[in-house]
Structure 1
């Protein structure tokens, strides 16, 4: 399990900002599953759903931004879990971009690849790997957009959400896997020890031009998500 506890350039949890947060929250004093639950709840609701400058940014930047999407929230979740001794890994996928419609609009949506790189954190509980995909969407945002989801392929998609049943979405972690975008997965890219290994191989903003264009738009996108969240 040692490889699932190591820091990396992206999982930079030895940074004092992480150590201060862990002391402040008292996570190190909790039992194993309560550590997972409270860190999961923190990343899900205190770090809002939104778009960072790229997938391959360090966890410290996600924490400072105060928002993130599937890939960057997974990085932050992993860093905090490893910082308190919880083994975790990352699972990569391609996901149909249709589920992003509403969160991404206009030219940003049109320029997005048809298959978007997606990831979730898997945490080891009682020698079983549990998926924590539900960490992506905060409750305030979910409350405002769940009735805007579109029916698609016997499920519901849109606004960064893809589920079988929109009326029974429960993203609280109770010891089992929690999903919120998995209904739109198209390809399994495999399991990686850390996000550094995944995003050097697969990246939504891999080209310099795409990154520049996206970063010109993302602040506007995040403001729009906040308007939706606060309606």
Structure 2
């Protein structure tokens, strides 16, 4: 866990196995988007939007993928999209750290078919990214759900503006989630948090300490079959809505 009394900016900018921002694909993306030429606020806004909307919500093979692997997949969930976001921000010289949690798996209902819950733990490892900007640490979580997917869920539950949990979302108001970065915190699953494991310098440190969500046969089944069925369902919702 991070010790904020001894950490320096370098701790929040370092490259690691997972935060492999020197990878050619990540460097090429940064160059193509011209992010190095922007001021810090614009960099955060553009990188945030990219990870939220161009890296679509979906389920990767493992939480501990490298950032370059998440970029290659083109989709991700809280933990994997967070890894890519951290890597891109650090590559631009913006300090970023990892905050680990668990969430209740019930917020995944709808995104994940009900019969699959027999294979899932009741509490799932979760994380958000914290960014040091304008003299304070910001809590950044709203990047998890891409806008096209979110809009389909909002359309299906058009009258919902109270506590909503489902389809990978847990927010006080589905129609007005705090998921646009306007210089402060963003959230999209915060209301589903169960346990708070605190702040870590890197995701590598967190997963070394906490492991991953599934082990043994369930992990193999998830990697080889279940996540593909989950992603088919998510793509169907994004394309055709909820029926």
For Structure 1 versus Structure 2, the TM-score category normalised by the shorter chain is over 0.9
Does structure 2 retain, via aligned residues, the 8 Å contact 1:101–1:160?
A: yes
| Aligned-residue offset at 1:108 | 2.3
Question: RMSD of the TM alignment (CA)?
Answer: 1.8
Normalising by structure 2, we get a TM-score of 0.90
Where structure 2 has 5 or more consecutive residues not aligned to the other structure, the ranges are 1-8
Residue 72, structure 1, aligned to residue 73, structure 2: no
Q: How many Å separate the matches in 2 of 1:2 and 1:167? A: 39
Contact 1:171 1:179 in 2 (8 A): yes
Aligned pairs (5 A) from 1:30-179: 30-148=38-156, 155-179=163-187
Quote the Cα distance in structure 2 between the aligned partners of 1:155 and 1:145. Answer: 14
The alignment partner of 1:200 has SS state of helix
1:136 aligned counterpart, secondary structure: coil
Q: What per-residue deviation string (whole Å, max 9, x for no partner) do you get for residues 110-143 of structure 1?
A: 2111111100001001121111100000000000
CA distance in 2: counterparts of 1:206 and 1:83, whole angstroms: 31
**Which of 210, 213, 236 is equivalent to 1:227?**
236
Residue 195 in structure 1 maps to residue 203 in structure 2: yes
Cα displacement (A) at 1:148:
4.6
CA shift for structure 1 position 166: 1.4
Aligned residues: 230
The Cα of 1:180 is off from its aligned counterpart by 0.4
Per-residue CA deviation, residues 116-175 of structure 1 (Å, 9 max, x unaligned), is 1100001001121111100000000000113556x99x6110000000111212421000
Distance apart, 1:199 and its partner CA = 1.4
Runs of 4+ aligned structure 1 residues displaced above 6 Å come to none
SS in 1 for 2:182: coil
Q: Is the CA contact (8 Å cut-off) linking 1:122 and 1:130 kept in structure 2? A: yes
**Which moves more between the two structures, 164-173 or 64-73?**
164-173
Q: Secondary structure at the match of 1:73?
A: helix
CA deviations on 1:196-227 (whole Å, 9 max, x unpaired) are 01112224434132221112111121121111
Counterpart Cα distance in 1 of 2:176 and 2:71: 29
Alpha carbons 1:108, 1:214 under 8 Å: kept: no
Larger mean Cα displacement after TM superposition, 101-110 or 31-40: 101-110
| Corresponding residue for residue 21 of structure 2 | 13
Which deviates the most, 139-148 or 196-205? 196-205
Cα distance in 1 between the residues matched to 2:41 and 2:83: 19
Q: Is the contact between residue 10 and residue 196 of structure 1 (CA under 8 Å) also seen in structure 2? A: yes
